[in-house]
Amino acid sequence: MLSDFADYHVHTPLCGHATGWPVDFAARAVELGLGELGFADHNPMPERFDEWRMLREDLPRYFEEVEKARTAFPQLTIRLGLECDFFTGREAWIEELRGLATWDYFIGSVHYLPDGTEVDHPKFISRYRDGDVEEIWTAYWKTYETAIRSGLFDFVAHPDLPKKFGFRPAGDLRRFYEPAIAALAETGTPFEINTAGWRKECAEQYPAREFLECAQAAGVPLLINSDAHAVSELGSRFAEAAELARSVGFTHTVRFQKRELTLVPFA
């Protein structure tokens, strides 16, 4: 049932690479019968940082657009969040962002490795082609674990992101997953099944089934999110994701209100 699920990972045009304003997503969420809708655009940095996140001065507009959607669709619960990039040394900025609004959740993401490589950016695809797959995966998962243990985030986004272009190290990938799952279990942090993976070269949800199995065994809660950058992507392939989650033993998903987590059973 789509009404059992929230879609909490939704972008807006303020990040510069998404279409559809919150009111447009809200109309679609009502049409789909989603349980809740939540926005999580790419977080601003205090300085101009890269070309794919909202600017600091656009935060008031972000709040305004979410508020407009709430007013237009009072029957729909609409949450306010951010997708925050984790950088070692920049933790204080995330804390500062925390104070700027009544947030329902912060999603922790790793798109950048400590050396500046963007794991999901096509401009770095040659690093994968040139045989650095094992090295990228190692650095990514180490950073991912650090992000989880930072305690800054209410849940974490798209585990498995470095498989985006279809490059995976040889052998059993659980050696990468297990330390991250231990960190999730120890800190009580949920993760998302991100259905955007089905739209990429890897042609598979993030994370892989093996990750889901280990996380389920460790009692880590999960969400299902679309990472929509367009209205047509909202709630995409949620039925398949739910079936996959169910098949590895998950029975509940998670909702957030002002950073308070509630477990919700799904059918």
State the Cα–Cα distance between residues 191 and 246, nearest whole angstrom.
15
Q: How far is the CB of 95 from Fe ion (least distance, A)?
A: 21
Please report how close the Cβ of residue 265 comes to Fe ion at its closest, in angstroms.
26
Strand (E) positions, the chain?
6-7, 36-42, 78-85, 105-109, 155-156, 191-194, 222-225, 252-257, 260-265
Which x/- pattern over 147-166 shows residues binding Zn ion (rule: CB under 5 A)? ----------x---------
Smaller CB separation from Fe ion, 109 or 189:
109
Picked from Fe ion, Zn ion, none, the partner binding residue 65 (CB below 5 to 8 A depending on kind) is none
- Tell me the closest approach of the beta carbon of residue 225 to Fe ion, in angstroms: 8
Least Å from the CB of residue 85 to Fe ion: 8
Tell which positions 226-245 bind Zn ion, by CB under 5 A: 227
Site residues (CB under 5 A) for Fe ion, limited to 206-265 = 227
Of 34 and 84, CB closest to Fe ion:
84
Long-range contacts at 238-241 (CB < 8 A, ≥ 24 apart):
238/2, 238/5, 238/7, 238/195, 239/2, 240/195, 240/198, 240/205, 241/193, 241/195, 241/205
Are 18 and 11 in contact by the 8 Å Cβ rule? The answer is: yes
With binding defined as CB under 5 A, does residue 154 bind Fe ion?
no
Q: How far apart are CA 36 and CA 5, in angstroms?
A: 7
Residue 157 or 220: the one with the smaller Cβ distance to Fe ion is 157
109 is a contact residue toward Fe ion (CB under 5 A)? yes
Judged on CB neighbours under 10 Å (0-12, 13-18, 19+), 42 is buried
CB of 74 to Zn ion, least distance (A): 28
Contact residues for Zn ion, defined by CB under 5 A: 157, 227
User: Which residues form the interface with Fe ion (CB under 5 A)?
Assistant: 83, 109, 227
